[in-house]
A and B are shown apart, each in its own frame.
Chain A
Amino acid sequence: MSGTLAVYQKEVSVYFRSPIAYFVVAVFLLGTGYFFLYNIFLTGDATMAETFQNMGVLLLTLIPVVSMRLFSAEYTAGTMELLLSLPLAPWQIVLGKYLGAVTMLLLMTAGTLIDLVPLYLFGNPETTTIVAGYIGFVLLGMACLAVGQLFSALTQNQIVAALITAAVLLGFWFVGHLQSFQTSYALRSLCGYLSFALHFADFIQGLVRTEAVMFYLVVGAMALTLNASYLQWRR
C-alpha cells in the first residue's frame, strides 16, 4: 500500500507543480459560478438542480484535460520505464494515479461549495437534494476519470488521449437520447442503462439509487481493471 501512496503523493505533487491543475480548477469554478448565477436569476428558485446539470456537462469537457497526461506523459518522458522497474504492481500504479486524479476532482467539487453560501443565506434549499447531487457529481467524475485514465494508458499522445476520452464520455452522456429512437425494449433499456446523464438525473432529483451508484462504481472499476491489465499485458 505504501507504493500506491507514494505514487498518489507524486501525482498530486506533479498536478500542482504544473499549470494544468490551476487552469482546470479555474475554468471549472468560473463556469460553475456563471451557470449558478444564471440559473438562480433565471428561475428564482433556491435550487442547485440546473447548476448540477451544467456542472456535469462542464465536467465531461474538463475530465479529458485532467486525465490525458496520467499515462501518456509518463510514456513520453520515459518515466514509465522507472515505474515499471520499481517494486510496484500494475494495480498500484493505476490506483495511485487514479486517486491523485480523484483528489483533483474533489478539490474542484469543493470549490463549488461557495455557491451554497448565497443559496442558504437568501433561500431555503433542500439539503438532502443538494447532498445527493454532490454524491452523483463525484461518482460521475470518478467514472469519467477512470475512463480517461484508461485511454491515457493506451496512447503516448496526450491530445489523442484527450480527444478519445471526450468522444467516449460524450457518447456515454448522450446515449440516453437514443432511447426514443429504439423500437426494441431491450435496446431502449440498454441505452437508458448506459447513460451517464440519466443516472446523474436521479441524483440531481435527490434520489441516491443503488443501481445508479453501482453503475458509476462498476464503470470505474472496469476501466481501472482494464487499465491495470493493459499495463501487465504491455510488460
Chain B
Amino acid sequence: MSASTAAIVLESVSKRYGSKTIIHDLSFSVATGEIVGFLGPNGAGKTTTMRMIAGVTAATAGRVTVAGYDMATQNTDAARQIGYLPEHPPLYDTLDVSAYLRFVARVKGVDRSAIPAELERVTAACRLEAVVRREVYKLSRGYRQRLGLAQALLGKPDVLLLDEPTAGLDPGQIQETREIIRAFGEDHAVLLSTHILAEATLICRRVAIINHGRLLAIDSPSGLEQAMEQTNRVTLQVTAPAQALREELLSVDGVSGLEIHPFPGDHDVLSVECQVDARDGIEAAIARAVASRWDLHRLDRQRPTLENIFLRYVKEAPVRGETA
C-alpha cells in the first residue's frame, strides 16, 4: 500500500517514558476504506500507539501522519479528522447524553445549525435514541460504550480509532457495533484494537500484531495463515502398533514430526498429531500410507486460526531492549 493513499501513517515511531521505551520503531499504515485490527497482549503498546495517533500523547521519535497532517506540527487540523474511542469511554457523568454529544460536536467544529441532524445520525447509528435525555451516570455499561462510539462518529471523521469498542457489550450489541464499524470502514480508515481475535477475523481486512512495543506482523488474516502454513498439523485416529505407525508416517514426504498418544477411552486406537509442510495433498499421502496397512478412523488437517497465529507470534517474539 502506498503511503500517499493511507489515512494513518506511522514511520519509525518510538515512545519513551523516562528511560523506558514503550514503542520501538513502529511503522505501518492504514488506508481509507480499510479496517485494520490491532492485536497484542496486555501491555503490548496498543493503547500507547492509539494515543499517539489520536494526538493525546506525542511520539518521542518518528512521524505520525493522519489524513495528511503531521501530528507533531498540525495536531489541531489532524484532530478534526479523527474519531477516537479510548479503552474507557470518556464521558461526563453529570451531563445528559444530548448535552455531552452537543459539546463534542461543537468542539469538532460541526456547524451549529447541523448539530441536531448530526446528533440524530449518531444516536440512531448507535441505538441511543431511548436514552438521549438521560444523565450519563445512569447509563448501563453497554450504553456508555455506545455513547463513547457515538462521540467518535460525530463530525464524520476520516479516521476512526477504536480501543476495545465491544468491551462490555452483550452479544446483540456486539453484533450491532461490528456492523457500524464495518459500514464506517467501507469509506474511512479504521484502526481497531481488540482482544477478540474472532472479531478481527470477521471485520478486519488486515491485522497488525504487536508485542513489547514492536510490530511483529501485519497482513490479511489469510496472509498470516499462509505465512504460518509451516505449522499446519494433521491429526488422525488409527488402530495400529505405535512404533510401526511412527516409522510409516515419518517416511511420508512432508511429515516433519509427530506425537502419538492413546485415544482416550479406547487403548486400541492411537491419536496422532503430525507436523506437516504446506503443500497440498499432504493429508492424502498420509491417508494412503496409513490406510493401506491399518484401520484409519479419522483424519483432519488443521489450518492455523488467528488465535494460533497470534499466540505463536507473541510467544516467539523476543523481549528485546525493553529499556533503552
Q: Are B56 and A235 in contact (CB under 8 A)?
A: yes
Q: Mark B105-122, 1 if CB is under 8 A from A, else 0.
A: 011110000000000000
Interface residues of B in 81-123 (CB under 8 A from A): 82, 84, 86, 88-95, 99, 103-104, 106-109
Q: Are B109 and A87 in contact (CB under 8 A)?
A: yes
Q: Are A82 and B104 in contact (CB under 8 A)?
A: yes
Known A13-B95, A81-B51; judge A86-B88 contact (CB<8 A). no
Contacts of A235 in B (CB 8 A): 55-58
Write the chain B residue with the least CB distance to A84: B56
Q: Is the CB of A161 closer than 8 A to any CB of chain B?
A: no
A9 interface neighbour in B80, B84, B93, B103, Cβ under 8 Å: B103
Q: Mark A1-30, 1 if CB is under 8 A from B, else 0.
A: 011011101100110011000000000000
Q: Which of B55, B56, B82, B84 has the most CB of A within 10 A?
A: B56
Contacts of B88 in A (CB 8 A): 78
Q: Are B90 and A87 in contact (CB under 8 A)?
A: no
Cα–Cα distance between A86 and B108 once the two chains are bound (Å): 7
Q: Mark A169-210, 1 if CB is under 8 A from B, else 0.
A: 000000000000000000000000000000000000000000
Q: Is the CB of B5 closer than 8 A to any CB of chain A?
A: no
Cα–Cα distance between A85 and B161 once the two chains are bound (Å): 11
Q: Is the CB of B234 closer than 8 A to any CB of chain A?
A: no
Write the chain A residue with the least CB distance to B109: A87
Q: Are B103 and A85 in contact (CB under 8 A)?
A: no
User: Closest Cβ of chain B: how far from A113's Cβ, in Å?
Assistant: 28
Cα–Cα distance between A2 and B99 once the two chains are bound (Å): 16
Q: Are A79 and B57 in contact (CB under 8 A)?
A: no
Q: Are A17 and B106 in contact (CB under 8 A)?
A: no
Write the chain B residue with the least CB distance to A10: B103
Q: Are A85 and B57 in contact (CB under 8 A)?
A: no
Write the chain A residue with the least CB distance to B96: A17
Q: Is the CB of B224 closer than 8 A to any CB of chain A?
A: no
Interface residue tally on B, bucketed by range: 20 to 34
A82 interface neighbour in B58, B77, B99, B151, Cβ under 8 Å: B151
B92 interface neighbour in A2, A77, A87, A89, Cβ under 8 Å: A77
Cα–Cα distance between A5 and B107 once the two chains are bound (Å): 9
Q: Which of A2, A18, A84, A87 has the most CB of B within 10 A?
A: A87
B93 interface neighbour in A77, A82, A84, A87, Cβ under 8 Å: A77
Q: Is the CB of B256 closer than 8 A to any CB of chain A?
A: no
Interface residues of B in 165-220 (CB under 8 A from A): none
Contacts of A3 in B (CB 8 A): 106-107, 109
Write the chain A residue with the least CB distance to B77: A87
Contacts of A81 in B (CB 8 A): 51, 54, 56, 84, 86, 90
Q: Are A17 and B94 in contact (CB under 8 A)?
A: yes
Q: Is the CB of B76 closer than 8 A to any CB of chain A?
A: yes
Q: Is the CB of A88 closer than 8 A to any CB of chain B?
A: yes
Cα–Cα distance between A102 and B135 once the two chains are bound (Å): 25
What are 25 A-B interface contacts by the 8 Å CB criterion? A2-B106, A3-B109, A5-B106, A7-B107, A9-B106, A10-B99, A13-B95, A17-B95, A77-B92, A77-B93, A78-B86, A78-B88, A78-B90, A81-B56, A81-B84, A84-B55, A84-B56, A84-B57, A85-B55, A86-B107, A86-B108, A87-B79, A87-B80, A88-B76, A235-B56
